[in-house]
Amino acid sequence: MITTLGHNTLHNKRQGSEEVPPKVPCHSGIPTFSSTPTEIKDILPHEFFLHYVKLYPCRLPANLSQGGQHHQPRPVRVVLDALAALLNFPCRAASWRLSKMGDASEEIQENPPIIYVTGFGPFESHPVNASQIAVEKLVKQNLESDLGVKLVTEIIKVEYEYVKKTVPQRWKELKPKLVVHVGVSGMAETLVLEQLAHNHEYTRSDNCGCLPNQGSCCPDGDPVLKSGIRMDLISSKLNKMIHLKLSCAKSTDPGRFLCDFIYYLSLNEDRTRSAFIHVPPLSKFSAQDISASIAAAIKEMYAQVLEMENEEQKEV
């Protein structure tokens, strides 16, 4: 499940049968267990099991619906997904972390780490913003299943006041493990990873014709904030991935517009888990190719964040 934020309202993007993993045969939205019998009674809370049997007795294996018992442990993934469906709590199999099979030693990751990714809406010479289209296509890049995270995406208005209000709010609400902002640059010929952001000298008006107060992001803040994520290392790794259509480069000039502005706000929240990516317009590369490169960069960024966390834990 990819969660998309818009106008302060959460809604789910559902792609076909994604909310019920393929290991669970499904008929009319009701999970069945005909091909994968499981010790449901031993895993689900008693009241849930009784409720499920009452509603869908024909969907359970005969030996379970009749009160039979198994004598050896079985995989539990299918049961967890059944419980999710029963409680109307959509999830993907990737949201569960299952430990190696043992005596009921399965571990459930109920709240996976969040990666929050934003794109920008239309503005001036970009009536169709490549960052918006590419971010929306991240649902097809398997980030959740590959990284064991929850991906939250949002398309941001090209307005200083809106950005200044929204970004700190999202950090507080989501408590993300990684934040990646994406914007378009008409000059970009590659995927551009921005290392830093500027606080002052914002002189370009937004979609409302407005400028930030005093031309600054945070009037009392540092002139420049740098990300703790090494963009040069990520750029080097991505340029060795021959399946990617875009090359990659590091930059230290996000442009003194909303891209620079939003990046500074996130760096001001946490420099160790904030990043910005500039992408070329759709006239140069397809949205799918841009999205694939963004996903590859996000994976490398996330790996660095985890590595930094591990190093901090060792020092403590």
Instruction: Give the residue numbers annotated as catalytic, written as ranges.
Output: 194, 259, 278
CA 143 to CA 283: how far, in whole Å? 26
239-242-247-249 Cα dihedral, nearest 10 degrees? -10
| Alpha-carbon distances of 39 from 56, 109, 119, 278, rounded to whole Å | 16, 20, 44, 50
Tell me the sheet residues that pair with 151: 115
In the block, tokens 């099979």 appear at 101
Q: Which two tokens stand for residue 226?
A: 């740098």
- For residue 232, CA distances in Å to 48, 77, 236, 275, 310 come to 51, 39, 6, 12, 21
Residue 256's Cβ-count burial label (10 Å; 0-12, 13-18, 19+) is middle
Phi/psi-derived region of residue 40, left when phi > 0, alpha when psi is between -120 and 50, beta in every other case: alpha
Strands 30-31 and 114-120: unpaired
